[in-house]
Amino acid sequence: MQWAVSHTLITYWPLATGKEGLARAIYWVSLQRHRPTVIAGHRAAISTISFKESWHEHSRDCYAALSCSPRREPKMAKNAIFEGGKRMKRYSSVLATLVLLLIMVGVASAQIMPPPTAPICPKPDTTASFYLQQGVYNKLPVWYFCTDTTDINFASTIQQPYRQLTLAPRLISAGGPLTLPPVATDGAAFLYINTGYQQGPIFSTIPGMATYSGIWEVAFVIWNPGSYPKALCSEADVLAAVAAGKAHLSLTYGTSFKKVILDCPIMVVGQLSNPLPTYPNPNTPYVSPQILNIYTGPGYRTVMIPAYSVYCQELIAKYIDRCRVIIPDVSNPILATKLRANYAPFLTAIDPPNRQFFSCVTGGPTGNLKAPSQLPVICQCPTGFGTNQLNLYYTPVMNLIYLNPGPNFPSFPNMQLCLVTSCNAVQTAITKGIYTATDIAVINAPVLDCQRAFPVCDP
């Protein structure tokens, strides 16, 4: 199903091309109030993941100087526009002017920027909690959780708190071939799993960087015969082991005969504490603004973030479900700030045919005119979780569409507006001119659970 999407309003700028420094400066100006985090132009993209609870403990080798060099403040790209909050203050007025000029000329058009006065859509109406797992990035701990995968073996693995990853077959289009040095392609950075040593994954990119999307392609580090496995604390350590002939990389391992794609949003880079530390600082360069609460105790660390209710039509029975989703990663920097999500520019590199639609009704010409209980609508939801998920069309990567009032939108005194609860109903409303669709961003929106809301589907 294809929808006619209008491209109006303000254009979107590239973050890793010739105007990279300026674009990042503009992004810093727009987000400095909420998210003063370093935006570095990393092109390398490799990471790793672990599902063993004990890896939380063993990963400390990477940043406690037990197996690796002492912890250092991570090096930033030479053109990093935020260095401890020192360099940009005096340039704020100049950059603000450049922002206006860039908006006027329109450097590139990939997505539509929501106007500053536009309503926040979607709005969170519930919460979700996740047990955090621990990895490493440049000798700093990384705290993350996982929701979806393309691999049945990973989906069969029980996660804390005793839930399985959701099979999302269409994610298989993300990622690409494994090369040396590895290059992130099609919206997925590589994620390294050290098969010979019990530790967490090794991340090579974090939120805000050009290759971060929250979607990862797994690269297994396999130690060659005669080599002694050890902790690997960064992408550089992985590549050094490969270059020395001690290990090699593979996209398959064990019973995983095809490449593995995982959906694992990052929540914190650095020290984890309750309350969270002020960031950025050398020990904690990044904290997700979505975090509402962190709970820590013996053997567990839980994070609470906002969640959103949406409508979705069941694939087989055609009933309308009310599902709960999270949106931890967003490709549009302005919307990421509004939703307090991770800025994930690499989401736009995921193959468009393998995304689905997330339609959000924004209101009407007489104010916030919309049907009672109108929720956003997604097209595909899982039939279950773990290996019980049988919907081959489901994916957590979605195009966020704003449904704006169209030429035939009801007006006073005829202000009758029906609920839109399925993608077929959305398509019909667009065709009839009730709504127009505007493409806003690519979002990472894993579906957590669903319950039937209506006994019948849309006419």
> Would you place residue 415 in the very low, low, confident or very high pLDDT band (cuts 50, 70, 90)?
low
pLDDT for 374: 85
Q: 172 pLDDT band (50/70/90 cuts)?
A: very high
Cα distance between the two ends of the chain: 18
Q: Would the pLDDT of 290 be above 90?
A: yes
Q: What is the mean pLDDT of residues 296-302?
A: 84
Share of the chain above pLDDT 70, in %: 68
Which one, of 224, 195, 193, 200, lies nearest residue 61 by Cα? 200
Rounded CA-CA distance 355/394 in Å is 9
Quote the mean pLDDT of the chain: 76
Cis status of the peptide bond prior to 285, with omega within 30 of 0: no
Predicted confidence (pLDDT) at residue 23 exceeds the cutoff of 90: no
Q: What angle do CA 254, 63, 187 make, to 5 degrees?
A: 55
- At 303, the pLDDT band (50, 70, 90 cuts) reads very high
Indicate the domain borders of the chain: 5-10+118-122+305-454, 42-75+127-269
Residue 296 confidence (pLDDT) above 80: yes
**In the prediction, which pLDDT does 117 show?**
53
**Cα–Cα distance, 386 to 116 (Å, whole number):** 40
- Rounded to two decimals, the pTM is 0.76
Asked if residues 404 and 356 have their Cβ atoms less than 8 Å apart, the reply is no
Who has greater pLDDT, 455 or 166? Answer: 166
Contact assessment for residue 426 and residue 420, using Cβ atoms and an 8 Å cutoff = yes
Residue 10 has pLDDT above 60, yes or no: no
Are 191 and 218 in contact by the 8 Å Cβ rule? The answer is yes
How high is the pLDDT of residue 11?
Answer: 27
DSSP letter at 202? B
**Confidence at 58, pLDDT banded by 50, 70, 90:** very low
What is d(CA 40, CA 27) in angstroms, rounded to the nearest whole number?
12
CA distance 66 to 351: 41
pLDDT in tens, 236-281: 999 999 999 999 999 999 888 899 999 999 999 998 888 887 888 8
Q: Name the most confidently modeled range: 61-75, 85-99, 124-138.
A: 124-138
DSSP state of 188: B
Distance CA 190, CA 197 (A): 18
